[in-house]
Amino acid sequence: MLEKLKFQQLVEETLTVKRETRAMPWYQFVLSMVLALYVEFSRLQHLRFLARDPMLVGILRVLELPPQCTFWRFLASLHLTVAQQLVEVQRQMRQRVWEAANVKLSSVTFDTDTTVHRYTGASPAKKSIARIKQKVGDHLVPSQVGTWPEVRDQLNQMLKGWAAYFSYGTRRSAYQAIDHHVHDCVRHFLRRRHKVPTRGNTQFSFAKVFGELGVFRLRKVQSAPRS
């Protein structure tokens, strides 16, 4: 789709980038950040979760994304006028997409998510906590037929992506609440799957779920020292 919309040509003709990049062409730096936004990874530090993502590296035609610090150096090298140029790229791409889809809008309404704070010191809001709890519950339903490693890995990816959004701030109570919710959901899920007649508190204890069974624990991230 991007090829049909001539995205690369538009970016290379509109943006003024003088830095000579070595890890990969500068267009690929821009494209990788755009693709990360597309899958709702909105910060550079999120890219480490996508470093070897098959879809992303396949589109970029690289084996692995450069580290986060390389992206920061690339962004730091850009002139301030690039901000205005990016807005122009966005405007032209929006127009091209609408034309390709034969969309003619008389007005546009933007729905802004105000349930979280996107600044240093951000803490998960109640709605955001409720949303991740709902996603966990929806994932661990009785109709889930995947193997445990598959179910666990999908669950961990969901939790890691949510945790990466809130890098700083007061997170202890929020993470603790979600950890307990995840444990309850996993315990009920495995108890039903293995037909355990009891509540499964012994077979699937908190320590076993976040230890031997390999479920990602948010509090472990929260208590880890920052580099």
The gap between the terminal CA atoms of the chain, to the nearest Å, is 39
Q: Does 90 share its domain with 148?
A: no
> Does 184 map to a domain?
yes
49: which 2 tokens?
Answer: 């979760």
Residue-level pLDDT at 111: 54
Residue-level pLDDT at 67: 86
- List CB contacts of 20: < 8 A, sequence separation 6 or more: none
Which amino acid is it at 44?
L
Q: In this structure, are residues 111 and 154 in contact, taking their beta carbons and an 8 Å threshold?
A: no
> Does 183 map to a domain?
yes
Distance CA 27, CA 29 (A): 5
Q: In this structure, are residues 89 and 81 in contact, taking their beta carbons and an 8 Å threshold?
A: no
Q: Does 88 share its domain with 52?
A: yes
Q: Does 148 share its domain with 79?
A: no
Q: Does 86 share its domain with 133?
A: no
Q: Does 134 share its domain with 96?
A: no
Q: In this structure, are residues 164 and 43 in contact, taking their beta carbons and an 8 Å threshold?
A: yes
Q: Does 130 share its domain with 219?
A: yes
What parts of the chain have a pLDDT lower than 70? 104-123, 165-171, 221-227
Residue-level pLDDT at 31: 87
Q: In this structure, are residues 71 and 33 in contact, taking their beta carbons and an 8 Å threshold?
A: yes
Predicted confidence (pLDDT) per residue in 75-132, tens digit: 888 887 788 888 888 888 888 887 887 776 666 665 555 544 444 445 577 888 888 9
Residue-level pLDDT at 5: 84
Q: Does 131 share its domain with 86?
A: no
Q: Does 84 share its domain with 131?
A: no
Residue-level pLDDT at 138: 93
Q: Does 168 share its domain with 211?
A: yes
Structural domain containing residue 146: 126-223
Residue-level pLDDT at 72: 84
Residue-level pLDDT at 165: 65
> Does 107 map to a domain?
no
Number of structural domains the chain divides into: 2
Look up the pTM and report it: 0.45
